[in-house]
Amino acid sequence: MAQRNACLIAGGMSKWGVRSASLVDVSQEAAKACLDDIPGFSHKDIDGFLYATSFAGRCSFQTNPAPVMAERMGLRPTSICARVDVLCAGGSAGILLAKGLIESGMADIVMVAGGEKLYTPQKWEVFYSELASIDHDWDAPNGLGLPPPFFALVATEHMKQYGTTKEQLAKVSVVNYNFGADNPKAQFQKKLTMEEALEAPSVVTPLTLYDCCPITDGAAAVIVTYEEKAKELSDRPLVYIRGGSQVSLHSVSANWPGEHLADWAHLKVAAQKAYEKAKVGPDDIDVAETHDCFTISEVVEVEELGFCKKGEGGPFVEAGNTDIGGKVPINTDGGLLSCGHPFGATGLRQGIEMMKQLQGRATHQVEGAATALQHNLSGLNVEHTIVIYGREPVK
């Protein structure tokens, strides 16, 4: 069989936010939006299905969700039907797995979907459940599974080591919220000023309300196929999945791989491996989606991804480099801060935005975008997953 190049050809998402709908409901919404993204495409042609979720069993009382969701979406996968569970990186991991399935010839058309139903009648339940996402014998008993305290420690360390300011963190919020204000599927559609961001109530010092992404119900889905099939199904510009990586160097916080909490050595390794596989470098990236679960995350990520030097993430953001017209526009659909974060779906939302950017149909379009990158971290910052896309395949 000749070499096949995987392409992302369609995507859609449900409305994200506080939903009275079930996990099945939002997943069906996302699947329909995805299928509608290519008029005339039949769901009957999909032979592979991956479903990314981590909390289906705890919040929706649904284990083994992949065949359940396939049935409810009207799919009959004959090549693969499986769940992907790496928490916040489930969607992006699913895209990488779909690439492998397509390019190996095991499947021809794969839908990767994902979602979470996180809101429960008593909100304490989801915070308690988050302790299950880390090592339950070691870090969980100490409460480190709750993200705000951990990322507050990261922010404090970054401020200590590099002089990062609260104003620089606030700039991340302002840029991303203002992108998300025009996204009808985002949890929040509101403009944000620097004054509002800086005067917001404290969550965990130094992080305030707008430094933190919300808990979210929602789902998203994409379709991956090979180059020749993509040309049959759509006349849009092809978006090739050029390469990617997923790196995990530790799980327990005591084995942190960097010199300090603001040193994300595992992300740096992931970036190097992804760039090598995609045969590009950080200067080639025209637009990106990074994992802005907290504002400090984006500041560290622009450093470790090579968009600026280590320690210069704060000034990089403050100078407008992540906005339209900047060096690397980031989270142009609002990111986690504005869209929300239903864990298994986030990487898929990111993939949809990167696909639209390279096809020239994004709401906040980056002119001439030809190469795009998406990044997720997951758990207690224990995994980093990167997918790189291009208008041309790797040669």
Catalytic positions: 88, 341
DSSP alpha helix (H) spans, the chain: 23-36, 56-59, 65-72, 90-104, 124-130, 147-162, 166-180, 194-198, 227-233, 265-278, 295-304, 313-318, 335-339, 343-359
Report yes or no: 293 and 257 within 8 Å, Cβ to Cβ. Answer: no
DSSP 325: T
- What is the C-alpha radius of gyration for the chain, rounded to an integer number of angstroms? 19
Choose among 49, 60, 125, 117: nearest CA to 82: 49
Q: How far is CA 186 from the centre of its chain?
A: 14
The answer to whether the bond into 141 is cis (omega within 30° of 0) is no
Helical (H) or strand (E) element with 247: strand 240-247
Which one, of 186, 191, 184, 234, lies nearest residue 210 by Cα?
191
* Distance from the first to the final alpha carbon of the chain: 18
Annotate 136-178 with DSSP letters as a single string: TTTTGGGTTTSHHHHHHHHHHHHHHHH---HHHHHHHHHHHHH
Question: Which residues have C-beta within 8 Å of that of residue 13, sequence separation ≥ 6?
Answer: 29, 30, 33, 185, 218, 219, 220, 221, 345, 348, 349, 352
How far from 277 is each of 121, 209, 306, CA to CA, in Å? 45, 38, 16
CB 209 within 8 A of CB 366: no
